[in-house]
Structure 1
Amino acid sequence: MCAGVRAGRDGHRGPVRGVAEEEKAYDTRKSHLCVFIVVASLAAVQRDQQIPVIFKASFDKANRQDLKSYRGPGLERGLEMLRQVKETTGLPVLTDVHETHQVAPVAEVADIIQIPAFLSRQTDLLVAAANSGRVVNLKKGQMLSAETMLLAAKKIAITQDDSVGVDGFFFETHLDPKQALCDAATMLPIDELEPLLEELIAISKASKALS
């Protein structure tokens, strides 16, 4: 646990994770506006549904296929936006790191550090994130077996008291997915998020009642 974020079944954070991507717009004002409209919606979901919500956004999409693809606002501006999200809503924030030198500045702002799927075997990056004192969200590499991912998780666990778990839902949501400059095909319109969560909450309650 750190900064009020606990991973796991009994933790305050984690049972359902609402995740939003920043609006990847070139206009600064438009970008800020989109982020905070989405954040306000997520804060309302947390309040109304009484579930933990974590805001996720990327300051740099370093793994774009096309060199000309938009990558994000950059480390400095991206972290400042995440800091504003925390200060205005109280929501914990999550962002990814791609290089070891990014871990320290990210850990000053983010409650959770994410390791991208394609970097899930990078030992130095995993150990640096684990040593930051923040919760680490390790995405599964598409090319890795469950057994290989277990080895990756152990790189983190060895520095975090073997506290490893799998819990929560990860969503990408946007005001208008068609206008998103990144991952538009996998975005959920923000107005469809809460109805979906209500279904998942009902399923979760029914499942727990049977266990």
Structure 2
Amino acid sequence: MTPDALYERLRARRFIFAGPCALESLELALDTAHAVREAAEAAGLFAVFKSSWDKANRTSLDGFRGPGLARGMEWLARIKQETGLPVVTDIHEPEQASPVAEVADVLQIPAFLCRQTSLLLAAAQTGRVVNVKKGQFVAPWDMAPALDKLHSTGNNRILLTERGASFGYNNLVVDFRSLPIMQGYGVPVVFDATHSVQLPGGKGTSSGGDRRFVPMLSRAAVAAGVDGVFLETHPDPDHALCDGPNSWPLDKLAPLLRDFAALWSLPYAC
């Protein structure tokens, strides 16, 4: 799928970005990707597989980061080939943009880096779709300058993602007003349902989270008219190597996607 064709599909709404937080193994990633595709197809939704080859902002030096660039791109290419799903993955430094864009269909800018000019320009210059996560410390209207940076390259295939705002220490809260505000800039907006229930650094040497609230928040976002939903999902979240407390169980994904489909079909979810 060309970048233009993919972006037009995303602009049509009713899509998910879903997969494990990090690439723990090729087998786990492939199994998850197949399950994501099956659940999305059954609900009539478009799916993009997501997973990170490097989690560069772990709380602790000992936190699991992923397989690295070379192996990560090899695994993502294999997942694309075997499942037919587009893939989205993060970049953290400008020089990573070009090699990652050879495989990934969507380059994602992590929330902590949403204002990094060189990183934004490098991502946009690849011509790929770029998804920028709004920082926990950034107001929705403050994403306009980031969009200006991206558009300056001539790349207009841009998404913005809401993932909650800092609410005191080790906590996040979602302001659903940010969804229509950012949509007002003329770009599709994604709701990150699983990072929005994260408790950053809440476990001392790692982040905590409370996945109980994923269905409520994600259904609310869809009802509010969000274009797509981002979900970290794992076959065994309690033993995931990264972001387990806020990951949604893979065996509970299908019914949640059916809820999204039903809500997106309602007149007010548009």
Q: Which residue of 2 aligns with 1:180?
A: 240
More strand by share: 2
The one-letter amino acid of 1:16's match is F
In the alignment, the residues of structure 2 paired with residue 42 and residue 3 of structure 1 have an alpha-carbon distance, to the nearest angstrom, of 23
Q: Which residue of 2 aligns with 1:17?
A: 16
Report how far residue 42 of structure 1 moved: 1.2
Q: Which residue of 2 aligns with 1:36?
A: 30
Cα contact 2:40–2:254 (8 A) shared by 1 = no
TM-score under structure 1 length normalisation: 0.89
In the alignment, the residues of structure 2 paired with residue 62 and residue 7 of structure 1 have an alpha-carbon distance, to the nearest angstrom, of 31
Of 122, 127, 139 in structure 2, the residue corresponding to residue 128 of structure 1 is 122
Aligned residues: percent identity?
42
Structure 1 pair 85–4 and aligned structure 2 pair: CA distance change class (3 A)? farther
Q: Which residue of 1 aligns with 2:6?
A: 5
In the alignment, the residues of structure 2 paired with residue 81 and residue 36 of structure 1 have an alpha-carbon distance, to the nearest angstrom, of 9
Structure 1 pair 76–3 and aligned structure 2 pair: CA distance change class (3 A)? farther
Report how far residue 36 of structure 1 moved: 1.2
Q: Which residue of 2 aligns with 1:165?
A: 188
In the alignment, the residues of structure 2 paired with residue 162 and residue 23 of structure 1 have an alpha-carbon distance, to the nearest angstrom, of 28
In the alignment, the residues of structure 1 paired with residue 34 and residue 102 of structure 2 have an alpha-carbon distance, to the nearest angstrom, of 23
Cα contact 1:7–1:165 (8 A) shared by 2 = no
Report how far residue 86 of structure 1 moved: 0.5
Query: Is 2:52 the counterpart of 1:58?
Result: yes
TM-score under structure 2 length normalisation: 0.70
Task: Find the residue that maps to 1:133 and give its secondary structure.
Answer: coil
Task: Find the residue that maps to 1:87 and give its secondary structure.
Answer: helix
Report how far residue 8 of structure 1 moved: 6.5
The one-letter amino acid of 2:264's match is S
Deviations 1:88-107 (A, max 9, x none): 01100000000011001000
Cα contact 2:21–2:232 (8 A) shared by 1 = no
What's the RMSD between the two structures over aligned residues? 2.0
Q: Which runs of 5+ in 2 are unaligned?
A: 158-186, 190-226
In the alignment, the residues of structure 2 paired with residue 106 and residue 94 of structure 1 have an alpha-carbon distance, to the nearest angstrom, of 10
In the alignment, the residues of structure 1 paired with residue 22 and residue 124 of structure 2 have an alpha-carbon distance, to the nearest angstrom, of 29
Structure 1 pair 3–41 and aligned structure 2 pair: CA distance change class (3 A)? farther
Q: Which residue of 2 aligns with 1:191?
A: 251
**4+ residue runs over 6 A deviation:** none
Report how far residue 3 of structure 1 moved: 6.9
Report how far residue 9 of structure 1 moved: 6.3
Task: Find the residue that maps to 1:172 and give its secondary structure.
Answer: strand
Cα contact 1:130–1:156 (8 A) shared by 2 = yes
The one-letter amino acid of 1:133's match is G
The one-letter amino acid of 1:204's match is W
Cα contact 2:37–2:47 (8 A) shared by 1 = yes
Cα contact 1:24–1:70 (8 A) shared by 2 = no
In the alignment, the residues of structure 1 paired with residue 82 and residue 151 of structure 2 have an alpha-carbon distance, to the nearest angstrom, of 32
Task: Find the residue that maps to 2:46 and give its secondary structure.
Answer: coil
In the alignment, the residues of structure 1 paired with residue 148 and residue 8 of structure 2 have an alpha-carbon distance, to the nearest angstrom, of 16
Q: Which residue of 2 aligns with 1:93?
A: 87
